[in-house]
A and B are shown apart, each in its own frame.
Chain A
Amino acid sequence: MNQILVALACAALVTLVSGCNSKPQANAPAGSTPGAARPTERNALPPAALKGRTLLTKAQLDQAMQSGTLDRPVNSLLTVDGPLHFGDFVWNDKAIPAGPTWVRIDLGKQIMSVFRGPNEIGTAVVVYGGDNKQTPAGKFHILMKDRDHRSSLYDAAMPYTLQLTGDGVSIHGSTVRWGAATHGCIGLPLEFARRLFEQAKVGDEVVIVPPSKAGNQTA
């Protein structure tokens, strides 16, 4: 009798263990349940791409999506140790697979993030429009690229211009320093602007998050 009980217990345990092991395999192909696609995307990154990169967990992504910080799934962010200084940037697209390029600009934090698909490949400190010439917020698409553009309104050089609006609001290389403001454009460090210029193409999406007066937690 005891042997039968022990055998049943073992069978139940084996069944339980096998069931636990089979759950991810059963949910992975579906892709519809929350979190099922995350391991697949994470495993898609080669080991060489994991250096200097923070993989987002499902809980982090869900929280970011719910709070509005992100409007689309993001797999990884660049690992930045401490605040960036004005003029600093981080660019790391090593072994990142191809994907659509999109840009997220947080005016309140003065931070730009360049994504290739769900992975961040670059971030930099930016300057934006002053109070009298505010930078518009929302979703834009790159209308025009010009490597050596010159402003017809202000007679100023705008290297590596990515034009966003019809009235001239653009992303371009500029002098990034503390307390600086623009006439509505997004100013980048020159080297970062060059890399973004080579990465982006006409039609790519740019999301500009307005500054929030309440601490900007929900970007």
Chain B
Amino acid sequence: MSTAPPAGASWLANRRTLGIGVAILLALGLAAALSISSFWRPGGGNGVQNALNAGANGINNGVASALNAAKSVADLLAGRSPGERAEGTLANLKHRRLPALHERALPKVRRPGATSPLAGIVGAAPVPPTEVLPPPPPAPLYNVVAGGPGAPIAAPPPGGGPVIFPAIPPPPGGGGGVIIPPPVTTPPVTPPVTPPVVIPPPTTGAVPEPSTWAMMLLGFAMIGRALRMRRRAMLQPAAR
């Protein structure tokens, strides 16, 4: 019997220890449940809770939602922006019409005295106006047959041109060759060029002149009078 109280005390002590242990475990469990519930409460207030909340709600994009939850709405909208439009890079969708490109071209005016604009570029001399050259004078044809020292033939002038034969003096003394006079040639006669006579078209107005009208009316009046007189002349014998 003397051992009963200690046994009861130990039982009581064991029970007390067990109760305290159970209470501690229960408290820890409740604390864990409380902390989890506070994390799961929507709109909790801090970023961790929001991140956990967004990640829990997101099904396929949980990580992206958690990252986006840390950004502001302005940052979310700015993240999709291609950037602000810088000044100076504006270009209208509808371009302003350029007058140089769209203006109707006027016909080119050709003036007779104007030189070609290509003359200065190419460097070619301007083409002189063509004019009728007079026919070259008939060159005397001398036929040197024989004898005597032949006159030297003048060298042709530089630059080309007709070869001029100098006059050959008559041979001194008799003998020698015979000079055949050149045949007389008449210069070609150019027919006179008569300028074409331009007959201006008759300028008749669309409306006849008053004198024309008067003449026509006078003619009608004379015809009418003649018919009237003729009819009267035919009726007068019958009336008698």
Contact = CB atoms under 8 A, between A and B. Distances in A.
Interface stretch (A67-75, A94-102, A138-146, A192-200): A67-75
Contact of A39 (B31, B42, B54): B42
Interface stretch (B71-79, B131-139, B185-193): B71-79
Contacts of A150: none
Contact of A182 (B78, B79, B93): B93
B27 A13 contact: yes
B26 to A, nearest CB: 6
Given A84-B80, A109-B77, A211-B84, A42 B42 contact: yes
B72 A57 contact: no
B20 interface: yes
Given A10-B26, A16-B34, A47 B59 contact: yes
B236 interface: no
Interface stretch (B62-70, B149-157, B205-213): B62-70
Contacts of A186: none
A64 interface: yes
Interface in B4-48: 16, 19-20, 22-23, 26-27, 30-31, 33-34, 37-38, 41-43, 45, 47
A56 B78 CA distance: 15
Contact of B82 (A67, A85, A187): A85
A59 interface: yes
B41 A24 contact: yes
B57 interface: yes
**Quick one: which of B27, B69, B77 has the most chain A CB within 10 A?**
B77
A193 to B, nearest CB: 15
B203 interface: no
A35 B43 contact: yes
B80 A80 contact: yes
Interface string A39-83: 100100001001111111111110110010110001001011111
B115 interface: no
A148 interface: no
A55 B138 CA distance: 114
Please classify how large the interface on chain B is, using the bins under 10, 10 to 19, 20 to 34, 35 or more: 35 or more
Nearest to B84: A108
Contacts of A111: 77, 80-81
B130 interface: no
A12 to B, nearest CB: 10
A6 B19 contact: yes
A166 interface: no
A38 B42 contact: yes
Contacts of A53: 61
A208 interface: no
Contacts of A113: 77
B83 interface: yes
B85 interface: yes
A124 to B, nearest CB: 10
B82 A110 contact: yes
28 contacts: A2-B20, A9-B23, A13-B31, A16-B34, A17-B30, A17-B33, A20-B34, A20-B41, A47-B59, A53-B61, A55-B58, A56-B73, A57-B50, A58-B43, A63-B72, A67-B74, A79-B68, A82-B80, A83-B82, A108-B84, A111-B80, A123-B80, A125-B82, A181-B85, A183-B92, A187-B93, A211-B84, A211-B85
Given A17-B34, A38-B42, A127-B93, 13 more contacts: A42-B42, A51-B59, A51-B60, A58-B42, A58-B43, A59-B45, A64-B72, A85-B82, A130-B92, A154-B94, A175-B93, A179-B91, A187-B93
